[in-house]
């Protein structure tokens, strides 16, 4: 992010650069003032009486520049360093009081007025391509600008602790632990800042937690001397209901009671029931505890990106897309209204929270855990009573046939061939020819739906499955996964199906609801996949790895009329740095293929599992989660 503050009167340009700086103590984000490289060098030179001219050719790239390492900015560097230079315009006459401190051939690459503490570079110290750029920035921040490097996790922990003590005083603090990193670290921090009897930690187990998740959080907190109240409410959740409008069109306040959660397949209804049940259970639990609202604060593990995300949604007028947090019990609403909410982690990013957690003595298994949604495994079971087959099913399948058999299709033109060709560029056509003449692939729709984003809208739509005769060629599969949703807007995702080549997918499904058995199958698959990922050492390379249970039973002999009773598992590896967009990890590139194959083999051993798939979809068009 670069923010430019430009003030005409003072002829001063300040660029705020927000980026990660790898300084000795930790990797973290800092926001600071920096005289931005290229633009400001020229601006500054001009303002102080020099001249800048446009050169006939632009040159951009990594160059070796000669540095004056007696200049404070370049102290400790060699006389020649590699930098990323971008020059269209460049300095001709250097302003009075400035000297040239960096030079690339006959181009001025850096100027300085040490007395006024003004520095300009024609290159980018903030990028990795400038090999020793971080040292230049460090010189600027610590030696020249006089900043101190006390923004460490340890120091910030002390600051947080004083703030908590000051705010809470002798009152009590209630914290609802989800089991995730943020609320666990928040609880550990409160515990360090306050007396034991001041911290009331409650964890509601909704029955959608991962294997051993509730126990391991409880154990870790017990070790730190925190008494966690665990409420086992799984049954209440499975049997939970909500109120819904009588029908889509009905705008009156009349409501009907929904089916119980264990009979509900609609994803929005599932979420709503879980939200309502959470409020109900929390109300009961807090009611029994007889807390006096006058003497209680509420602590939340909100992080900086959470605040930025909700602010940017509100700023961009997309406030409605924020999922309603049906978290407001009576007590919590009251505390919120009275401003009695504390958010001790609100200035922290995820990696800093993990570092803080380690500092507070939480085990690695907990602090390095991937983010996990509030409704947990419930949104990772694709529930269905019947197959999802719309009227475009057959035609879309025909398009998929043409795509995966493109090299042969072009020889016997089909009405749909033109449609396919219109969607792809010449290079893509060439690549598709190459892929389909080298590999025997097959692609078809699976009769289930999942969430995606096409254009600006959330949509519930098809999944496309790809199988191959040969072992998977990941780069080609990734290419198809980019191409197919662009061609067929009713396809939100593309998965690779491990196992033998398949001509036709099943057209029916295994009826699937959120029941104990179904959840324990998914819980086991999730456990197996994550254990293998953790053991491989690649856990931190993947931002999140949802494991999804889908109601499809493959490889049934049609003659024997074997009923659909098994289910399949999808592994979705997801890599993101902004949590808004992201890609699927490519086996052999981001994660070793053998790690993925091991997951597949181990998951297949779980009773009731038919096949295992790998989600190849980027976000967009596929969201991180499947519902
Ligand atoms: C760092 O030092 C400054 C100045 O002494 C102080 O105001 C600030 O609170 C310190 N920050 C931390 C995190 O210790
Ligand atoms: C499920 O909830 C309903 C009320 O919503 C209750 O009447 C019923 O007894 C519950 N069933 C079980 C098995 O808990
Ligand atoms: C859902 O739960 C209710 C009450 O606990 C039970 O009677 C019913 O059989 C369950 N339904 C399914 C599909 O498991
Ligand atoms: C409810 O609140 C807890 C604690 O503040 C939070 O961790 C969790 O994500 C929230 N759940 C939902 C469904 O919003």
* Packing angle, helices 393-404 and 426-438, rounded to 10: 80
Rounded to whole angstroms, how far apart are CA atoms 481 and 557? 29
Q: What are phi and psi of 346, to 5 degrees?
A: -70, -15
Res. 456 pLDDT band, cuts 50 70 90: low
Rounded to whole angstroms, how far apart are CA atoms 76 and 136? 9
Q: Which ligand is nearest to the CA of 233?
A: 2
Res. 578 pLDDT band, cuts 50 70 90: low
Res. 527 pLDDT band, cuts 50 70 90: very high
Rounded to whole angstroms, how far apart are CA atoms 627 and 621? 13
Q: Which residues line ligand 1 (CB under 6 A)?
A: 148, 150-151, 155-156, 159
Residue at a domain's end among 348, 376, 404: 376
Domain contains 402: yes
Domain contains 340: yes
Contacts of 557 (CB under 8 A, 6+ apart): none
Same domain flag for 321 and 191: yes
Of 67-76, 138-147, 316-325, which gets the smallest average pLDDT? 316-325
Same domain flag for 361 and 501: no
pLDDT in tens, 40-67: 778 788 888 999 888 766 667 888 999 9
Domain contains 334: yes
pLDDT in tens, 350-387: 888 999 999 999 999 899 998 888 899 999 999 999 99
Residue 30 has pLDDT above 50, yes or no: no
Reduced to 3 states, what is the DSSP secondary structure of residue 609?
A: strand
CATH no. for residue 187? 3.40.50.620
20 is in an annotated binding site: no
Q: What are phi and psi of 502, to 5 degrees?
A: -135, 135
Res. 525 pLDDT band, cuts 50 70 90: very high
Of 139-153, 198-212, 291-305, which gets the smallest average pLDDT? 139-153
Of 175-189, 255-269, 299-313, which gets the smallest average pLDDT? 299-313
* CA of residue 285 to ligand 4 center, whole Å: 15
- Answer yes or no: is the C-beta of 239 below 6 A from any ligand 2 atom: yes
Of 76-90, 170-184, 254-268, which gets the smallest average pLDDT? 76-90
Domain contains 2: no
Same domain flag for 195 and 343: yes
Residue 425 has pLDDT above 80, yes or no: yes
Q: What is the residue with the minimal CA distance to atom 7 of ligand 3? A: 239
pLDDT the model gives residue 314: 53
Residue at a domain's end among 144, 170, 195: 144
Same domain flag for 221 and 125: no
Q: What is the residue with the minimal CA distance to atom 4 of ligand 3? A: 239
Same domain flag for 111 and 231: no
> Is pLDDT larger for residue 94 or for residue 246?
94
Rounded to whole angstroms, how far apart are CA atoms 498 and 502? 10
Which residues are paired to 94 by β-bridges? none
Of 3-17, 162-176, 254-268, which gets the smallest average pLDDT? 3-17
Residue 391 has pLDDT above 50, yes or no: yes
Q: What is the residue with the minimal CA distance to atom 3 of ligand 3? A: 239
Residue 13 has pLDDT above 80, yes or no: no
Res. 324 pLDDT band, cuts 50 70 90: very low
Ligand 2, from 237, 238, 239, 264: best to mutate by most atoms within 8 Å of Cβ?
Answer: 239
Same domain flag for 347 and 477: no
Q: What is the residue with the minimal CA distance to atom 4 of ligand 4? A: 176
Residue at a domain's end among 351, 376, 401: 376
Q: How many domains does the chain have?
A: 3
- For residue 228, what are the domain limits? 153-376
Q: Which ligand is nearest to the CA of 272?
A: 4
Average pLDDT, the chain: 86
Question: Distance between alpha carbon 39 and the CA centroid of its chain, in Å?
Answer: 33
* CA of residue 179 to ligand 4 center, whole Å: 10
Q: What is the residue with the minimal CA distance to atom 7 of ligand 4? A: 178
pLDDT in tens, 176-217: 998 889 999 999 999 999 999 999 999 999 999 999 999 999
Mean pLDDT for 461-486 is: 95
* CA of residue 239 to ligand 2 center, whole Å: 6
Same domain flag for 137 and 157: no
Mean pLDDT for 298-307 is: 82
Domain contains 385: no
Between the CA atoms of 131, 134, 137 and 139, what dihedral angle is there, to the nearest 10 degrees?
-100
Mean pLDDT for 74-79 is: 95
Same domain flag for 464 and 572: yes
Same domain flag for 168 and 138: no
Q: What is the residue with the minimal CA distance to atom 9 of ligand 4? A: 374
518 is in an annotated binding site: no
Rounded to whole angstroms, how far apart are CA atoms 483 and 443? 12
- Answer yes or no: is the C-beta of 376 below 6 A from any ligand 4 atom: no
Q: What is the b/e burial string over 459-487, where b = at least 16 CB atoms within 10 angstroms of the residue's CB? A: bebbbbbbbbeeebebebbbbbbebbbeb
- Answer yes or no: is the C-beta of 152 below 6 A from any ligand 3 atom: no
- Answer yes or no: is the C-beta of 264 below 6 A from any ligand 3 atom: no
Same domain flag for 413 and 467: yes
Same domain flag for 116 and 73: yes
Of 74-78, 186-190, 300-304, 494-498, which gets the smallest average pLDDT? 300-304
Q: Which atom of ligand 2 is nearest to the CA of 236?
A: 14
Of 35-44, 229-238, 527-536, which gets the smallest average pLDDT? 35-44
Which is nearest to 562 in space by CA: 510, 619, 491? 510
- Answer yes or no: is the C-beta of 385 below 6 A from any ligand 3 atom: no
Same domain flag for 78 and 139: yes
- Answer yes or no: is the C-beta of 176 below 6 A from any ligand 4 atom: yes
- The alpha-helical segments, DSSP class H, found in 109-171 are 133-138, 153-168
pLDDT the model gives residue 319: 39
Rounded to whole angstroms, how far apart are CA atoms 470 and 475? 14
Structure tokens at 248: 């889509």
pLDDT in tens, 234-257: 999 999 999 888 877 777 778 899
Domain contains 388: no
Query: Sign of dihedral through CA atoms 492, 498, 503, 506?
Result: negative
Domain contains 627: no
CATH no. for residue 12? 3.40.50.880
Domain contains 622: no
């Amino acid at each position: 992010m670069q923010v430019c503050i430009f003030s005409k009167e003072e002829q001063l340009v300040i660029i705020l650069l927000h980026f990660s700086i790898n300084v000795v103590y930790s990797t973290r984000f800092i926001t600071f003032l920096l005289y931005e490289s290229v633009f400001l060098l020229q601006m500054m030179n001009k303002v102080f009486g020099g001249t800048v001219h446009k050169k006939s050719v632009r040159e951009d790239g990594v160059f070796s520049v000669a540095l004056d390492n007696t200049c404070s900015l370049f102290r400790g560097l060699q006389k020649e360093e590699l930098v990323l230079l971008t020059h269209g315009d460049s300095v001709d006459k250097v302003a009075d009081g400035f000297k040239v401190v960096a030079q690339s051939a006959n181009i001025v690459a850096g100027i300085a007025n040490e007395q006024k503490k003004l520095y300009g570079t024609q290159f980018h110290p903030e990028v990795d391509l400038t090999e020793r750029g971080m040292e230049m920035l460090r010189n600027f921040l610590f030696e020249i600008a006089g900043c101190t490097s006390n923004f460490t996790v340890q120091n910030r922990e002390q600051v947080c602790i004083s703030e908590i003590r000051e705010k809470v005083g002798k009152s009590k603090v209630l914290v609802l632990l989800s089991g995730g990193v943020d609320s666990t670290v928040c609880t550990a921090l409160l515990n360090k800042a306050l007396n034991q009897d001041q911290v009331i930690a409650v964890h509601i187990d909704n029955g959608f937690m991962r294997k051993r998740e509730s126990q391991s959080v409880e154990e870790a907190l017990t070790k730190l001397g925190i008494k966690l109240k665990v409420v086992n409410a799984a049954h209440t959740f499975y049997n939970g209901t909500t109120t819904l409008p009588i029908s889509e069109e009905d705008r009156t306040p009349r409501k009907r009671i929904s089916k119980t959660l264990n009979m509900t397949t609609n994803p929005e209804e599932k979420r709503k029931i879980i939200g309502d049940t959470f409020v109900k259970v929390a109300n009961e639990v807090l009611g029994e505890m007889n807390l006096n609202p006058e003497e209680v604060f509420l602590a939340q593990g909100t992080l900086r990106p959470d605040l930025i995300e909700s602010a940017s949604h509100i700023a961009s007028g997309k406030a409605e897309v924020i999922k309603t947090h049906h978290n407001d019990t009576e007590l919590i609403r009251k505390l919120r209204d009275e401003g009695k909410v504390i958010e001790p982690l609100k200035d922290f990013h995820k990696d800093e929270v993990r570092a803080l957690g380690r500092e507070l003595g939480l085990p690695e298994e907990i602090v390095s855990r991937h983010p996990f949604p509030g409704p947990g495994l419930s949104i990772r079971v694709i529930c269905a009573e019947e197959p999802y087959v719309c009227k475009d099913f057959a035609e879309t399948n025909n398009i998929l046939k043409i795509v995966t058999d493109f090299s042969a299709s072009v020889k016997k033109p089909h009405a749909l061939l033109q449609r396919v060709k219109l969607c792809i560029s010449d290079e893509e056509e060439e690549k598709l020819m190459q892929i389909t003449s080298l590999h025997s692939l097959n692609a078809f729709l699976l009769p289930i739906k999942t969430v995606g984003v096409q254009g600006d809208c959330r949509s519930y739509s098809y999944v496309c499955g790809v199988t191959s005769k040969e072992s998977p060629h990941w780069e080609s599969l990734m290419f198809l996964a980019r191409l197919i949703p662009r061609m067929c807007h009713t396809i939100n995702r593309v998965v690779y199906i491990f196992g033998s080549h398949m001509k036709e997918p099943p057209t029916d499904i295994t009826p699937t609801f959120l029941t104990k058995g179904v959840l324990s199958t998914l819980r086991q698959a999730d456990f197996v996949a994550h254990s293998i990922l953790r053991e491989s050492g690649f856990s931190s390379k993947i931002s999140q790895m949802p494991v999804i249970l889908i109601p499809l039973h493959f490889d049934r002999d049609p003659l024997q009329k074997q009923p659909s009773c098994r289910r399949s598992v999808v592994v979705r590896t997801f890599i993101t740095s902004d949590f808004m967009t992201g890609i699927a990890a490519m086996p052999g590139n981001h994660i070793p293929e053998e790690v993925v194959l091991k997951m597949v083999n181990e998951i297949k051993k779980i009773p009731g599992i038919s096949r295992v798939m790998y989600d190849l979809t980027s976000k967009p068009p596929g969201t991180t989660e499947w519902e």
